[in-house]
A = this chain, B = another copy of it.
Amino acid sequence: MSKDHLRDIQSEPDYRKIPINKVGVKDITYPVVMLDRNRGKQHTVANVNMYVNLPHHFRGTHMSRFIEILNRHRDGIDTRKVKKILEDMKSELDAETAHFEIEFPFFMTKAAPVSGEEALMDYRCRLAASSDENFYEVEVNVPVLSLCPCSKEISSYGAHNQRSIMKIQVRAGYSRIVWIEDVIRVAESSGSSEIYSLLKREDEKYITEKSYENPVFVEDIVRNATELMMKIDGVLWFSVESENMESIHNHSAYAQICMDLK
């Protein structure tokens, strides 16, 4: 049977007069190549969502075209290329607005602080953009170590500490590149100590002592990061969160600061 004989219901009119904000494909697992500042590019695996708006007079969109567009662009994605992806989505899906969201582990080589031994650290990142906004949004999730100032102060020795997950979201205009690497740096400078994949004993001693000398509440972490974020050029808006997976509790301590710099 030929394709031409198959009725295209999606293109038929709809009579309810209700436009749809977003319609498309969600939760696609796809291998992609992300462009990065240090290594040029890196292979990773992404989870992708792609949506367009749908005017009130159309019944449906054409889902397979999203996958074709992703297929074409998967070998080089960064904040600048996202604009081209949004344009392709608009023109090939006949839409007024397009939305693109991609989540992926981003890897950086990191040297241990004393031994200098290198290994890869993973940071869960997200890049999102809409054709009807003049900014894109970058999100990084960064694990750090936090040591409690109260516990240190009131105890004769020791202090409880734990892994904290910092989430920083940034909006920036397309004329400026906000580097993932710079935002990760902000997060790793805001806790009691940064953390690593590979540590030797001399590194462990260094981190233990550094964090004891530098205790932070969850409130301090987000304030520290806020001070640093305010110095990055081109940031229009940011949100800084920290979730401390408390070692003395079975729940998290949490704080958030949100700032509009426009």
Contact B251 A197 (CB under 8 A): yes
Of the stretches A170-178, A179-187, A222-230, the one at the interface is A222-230
- Taking the closest CB of chain B, its distance from the CB of A44, in whole angstroms, is 6
Question: In whole angstroms, how far apart are the Cα atoms of A1 and B8 in the complex?
Answer: 36
Contact A247 B248 (CB under 8 A): no
A211 at the interface (CB under 8 A from B): yes
Count, chain A residues at interface, CB 8 A: 104
Chain B residue nearest in CB terms to A43: B43
Chain B residue nearest in CB terms to A256: B22
Q: Apart from A25-B253, A27-B251, A51-B254, what are 10 other A-B pairs with CB-CB below 8 Å?
A: A25-B252, A26-B253, A27-B252, A29-B251, A43-B44, A61-B219, A68-B119, A145-B247, A158-B158, A199-B249
Contact B143 A160 (CB under 8 A): no
Copies in the complex: 4
Instruction: Report if A154-B248 is in contact (Cβ < 8 Å); known contacts: A49-B254, A61-B219, A254-B22.
Output: no
Contact B154 A18 (CB under 8 A): no
List the interface of chain A (C-beta within 8 A of B): 1-3, 6-10, 14, 16, 18-31, 42-45, 49, 51, 54, 59-61, 63-64, 67-68, 71, 105, 107, 115, 117, 119-122, 143, 145, 147-151, 153-163, 193, 195-202, 204-205, 207-209, 211-212, 217-220, 222-223, 226-227, 243, 245-258
Question: In whole angstroms, how far apart are the Cα atoms of A231 and B27 in the complex?
Answer: 32
Contact B160 A204 (CB under 8 A): yes
- Taking the closest CB of chain B, its distance from the CB of A126, in whole angstroms, is 15
